[in-house]
Amino acid sequence: MKQRILGLSKFVYLAVYLLIMVFPLYWIVITSLKPQKDIFSFPLKYWPERFTLDNYVHIFKISKFHIYIGNSLLVAITSAVVVLVIAILSAYVLARFKFRGHRQIMLAFFATQMLPGFVALAPLYLMMSSMNLINNRFSLVLMYTVILIPFSTIMLRGFFQRIPASLEEAAMIDGCSRWSALVRIIIPVMLPGIASTFIFAFVQNWNELFLAVMFIDNDALKTLPVAMNSFILKFDVDWGAMSAGAVLSIIPTILLFAFAQRFIVEGLTQGAEKG
Amino acid sequence: MRKQRVFILSGLIPALLLVLAFTYYPFVKGIVMAFQEYKLFDLRSVHFVGLDNFKAAFNDPKFIMALQNSGYWVFFSLILQFLFGLTLALLLKKQFRGRGVYQGFVFYSWALSGFLIGMIWKWMFNSQIGVINDILLHLGLIHERIGFLSDPKWAMISVIIANVWYGVAFFAIMLLAALQSVPSELYEAAVMDGASSFRKLWNVTLPYIMPTIIATTLLRAIWIFNDPTIIYGLTNGGPAGSTHILSSLMLDKIIYGGDYGAASAIGIIMIIILLFYTIFFLSVTKAEKAGDF
């Protein structure tokens, strides 16, 4: 009897929690599919009587939404690839070698995760403008890469540490150089870890708002978050268009998350545990 | 040996150079700015002013409010995220049919941007047509609509609710991983001694995962303290500055005020608070337990 009550209360708790987690997403999707006048009429419809894609059509009409999507993809993917190349190297070195300064470098990388990064925001703006990189998507690629280097290095280092060094040592005895052992032997074994780091980086870049707001105000160069930010300032009451924009911005990250949840969770926890 | 040194250097140099040039260099510059009059719209009159920016901050009621709010924001977000995260992790520890799918549906929040989450909750908290008011009215819990974001009494509570919703997943993920690493022999021993499930939790599980709890709480508190994104999306500090925390106030001064000196002073105050917090936290929890972070 006691077992049954316990089991039932566990079930109820998990069900309520699920409802609370899913409802906001459900609500924004439902809002985006309602005709404009149903969004603002009483009583609220928890299941719309009519579905429409008008809000989606509308948002492409009132803004260059396809261009924002393109910009976001370009910046997020480019930077995630560059981060991966740089961080694989630094993580490998930090996982396999002990040398003077090793501890300090790890500490410097950890510290970037703890310090309030916005202290650097104003100076970065001035640096970018002196290099003529304001309103240039390269500034975003550069900064997103820099921001993700420490975390990706820490995470990938955790993955490297789980691969026995004997693997590449054997290859090196067979005449491989360290470079080719890394590329041919180690990286293929690490693919799940690399994929999860890539997806983590992509999602961070895709979502980043404040640097993009500072560096970009040319409409043709805006990324999705910047565009959504100016929507809020411009059409604060047009929740039809905004919900459609929000849903479109969320879709890629949700898909990637669904696809890679297991790997990322593994990577995050193991990367953090190994520190 | 020489070859190895070349390899180490060439592996580290790109990462180190970029982080030094575009994180640490601007960061140090930002710290210097705190002692300067530095306004974006008046760049020709940049000059050192000693501690004026700090004096101005402490004389500004908005800053004092943000300082207080930061305390509430971190404390309540952290406690609630931890409690819900721990409960969830305990309930998800045992394998059951559909657990993987369930995790997907409750853990997805961290893949979204805080800004969009802020927006979605802003829509749900809306005082006229917001769905939360509608549900509470239907349930008979309230009799008139609440201005969740427009009433200063409610606004801070509202942003904290959204933040808790956002961050439970992080704790749940970390704690679940830790729970799954508890060796089952420990439980077997406890069962032999006739321990109740509560005692098992208290005497076996919690002590075993304590290092993860400590490390996660420490990190999470710092991230919550530093991250203004949800507040920016939900209220942008409003109404009348009543939901600003230190980081959102600093951001506001940079993006909308162009007052870099004042913003940097807030940043330095944040760094000092973080330093004290970390030292205090590690000394009460005994640093060695927190693992080799």
Quote the pLDDT of residue B191.
81
Identify the residue whose tokens are 């074994």.
A189
Asked if A146 lies within 8 A of B30 by C-beta distance, the reply is: no
User: Quick one: pLDDT at residue B68?
Assistant: 97
Taking CA–CA distances from B213, the nearest residue in chain A reads A273
pLDDT band at residue A265 under the 50/70/90 scheme: low
Residue B2 included in any domain: no
Split into its structural domains, chain A has a count of 1
Residue owning tokens 């409690």: B83
Within chain A, how many helices (H) and strands (E) appear? 14, 0
> What is the mean pLDDT of the segment spanning A18-41?
93
**Band of pLDDT at residue B85, cut at 50, 70 and 90:** very high
Tokens of A221: 């160069």
A93 and B8 in contact by Cβ < 8 A? Answer: yes
DSSP code per residue over chain B: -HHHHHHHHHHHHHHHHHHIIIIIHHHHHHHHHTTEE-BGGGGGG-EE-TTHHHHHHHT-HHHHHHHHHHHHHHHHHHHHHHHHHHHHHHHHSS--TTHHHHHHHHHGGGGS-HHHHHHHHHHHH-TTT-HHHHHHHHTTS-SS---TTTSHHHHHHHHHHHHHHHHHHHHHHHHHHHHTTS-HHHHHHHHHTT--HHHHIIIIIHHHHHHHHHHHHHHHHHHHHH--HHHHHHTTT-STTTT--HHHHHHHIIIII-BHHHHHHHHHHHHHHHHHHHHHHHHHHTGGGG---
How much of chain B, in percent, has pLDDT values that exceed 90?
Answer: 69
**Residue B279's domain spans which residues?**
62-290
Residue B293 has pLDDT above 80, yes or no: no
Chain A residue numbers with beta carbons less than 8 Å from the beta carbon of B228 are 118
Q: Is B215 near chain A, with CB under 8 Å?
A: yes
The arithmetic mean of pLDDT across residues A45-60, rounded, is 92
Residue B20 lies in a domain: no
Q: Is the pLDDT of residue B290 over 60?
A: no
Domain assignment present for A22: no
Per-residue model confidence (pLDDT) at position B187: 83
Asked if the structure places residue B40 within a domain, the reply is no
CB-based contacts of A70: which residues, under 8 Å, 6+ apart?
A: none
Euclidean distance between CA atoms A214 and A206, whole angstroms: 16
ipTM of the modeled complex? 0.91
Q: What 3-state class would DSSP assign to A230?
A: helix
Least confident span in A121-125, B81-85, B97-101: B97-101
Q: What is the pTM of this model?
A: 0.92
Does any domain span residue B185?
Answer: yes
Q: Which residues of A touch B271 (CB under 8 A)?
A: 115-116, 119
Task: Choose the closest CB to B22 out of A146, A249, A269.
Answer: A146
The answer to whether residue B123 sits within a structural domain is yes
Tell me how far apart the alpha carbons of residues A259 and B1 are, in angstroms, rounded to a whole number.
43
pLDDT tens sequence across B219-261: 999 999 999 999 999 999 989 889 999 999 999 999 988 999 9
- Answer yes or no: is B1 within a domain: no
Q: Compare CB distances from B123 to A31, A147, A249 and report the shortest one's residue.
A: A31
Mutation site for B-interface testing, chosen from A6, A113, A119, A130 by largest number of B Cβ within 10 Å: A119
**pLDDT value of position A257:** 84
What's the rounded Cα separation, in Å, for the pair B100 and B73? Answer: 32
Average pLDDT, rounded, for chain B: 91
A42 part of a folded domain:
no
pLDDT at B292: 44
Hey, CA dihedral for B293, B84, B78, B113, is it positive or negative? positive
Candidates B1, B16, B27: best to mutate against A (most CBs of A within 10 A) is B27
Residue of A12, A16, A118, A264 for testing the chain B interface, max B β-carbons within 10 Å: A118
Domain count, chain B: 1
CB B91 within 8 A of CB A10: yes
* Residue B165 confidence (pLDDT) above 60: yes
Under 8 Å CB pairs connecting chains A and B tally to 225
**Contact list, B177 vs chain A (CB under 8 Å):** 265, 269-270, 273
| Residue B251 included in any domain | yes
pLDDT digits (tens, 9 = 90+) for B111-152: 899 999 999 999 999 998 899 999 999 999 999 999 999 999
Q: Is residue A43 part of a domain?
A: no
pLDDT of residue B193: 81
Contact, A55 vs A32, CB < 8 A?
A: yes
Using DSSP's 3-state secondary structure scheme, residue A201 falls into helix
Q: How many CB atoms lie within 10 A of CB B29?
A: 18
Measure A47 CA to nearest chain B CA, in Å.
Answer: 13
If you average pLDDT over residues B249-277, what whole number do you get?
Answer: 95
Q: Give the pLDDT confidence score for residue B94 in this predicted structure.
A: 86
β-bridge mates for residue B27, sequence order: none
The beta-carbon neighbor of A105 closest among B16, B23, B255 is B16
What mean pLDDT do residues A61-67 have?
93
- Per-window interface: B 127-186 vs A, CB < 8 A: 129, 131, 134, 165, 173-174, 177-178
CATH number assigned to the domain comprising residue B110: 1.10.3720.10
Which B-chain residues 59-98 have CB contacts (< 8 A) with chain A? 84, 87-88, 91
Average pLDDT in chain A: 91
Q: A83: domain range?
A: 53-274
Contacting residues of A for B123, CB less than 8 Å apart: 27-28, 31, 239, 242-243
Q: Which residues in chain A have Cβ-Cβ distances shorter than 8 Å to B200?
A: none
Residue A275 pLDDT more than 50?
A: no
- The CATH number of the domain holding residue A236 is 1.10.3720.10
**Which positions in chain A touch B270 (Cβ < 8 Å)?**
116, 119
Q: Is the pLDDT of residue A274 over 70?
A: no
In a domain, B101, yes or no: yes
Whether A271 has a pLDDT exceeding 90, the answer reads no
What does the alpha-carbon distance between residue B157 and residue B154 come to, in Å, rounded to a whole number?
Answer: 5
Least CB–CB distance from B104: residue in A27, A147, A258: A258
pLDDT value at B61 more than 50: yes
Closest approach of B2 to chain A, Cα-based (Å): 13
Confidence of residue A145 (pLDDT cuts 50, 70, 90): very high
Cβ within 8 Å, pair B18-A145: yes
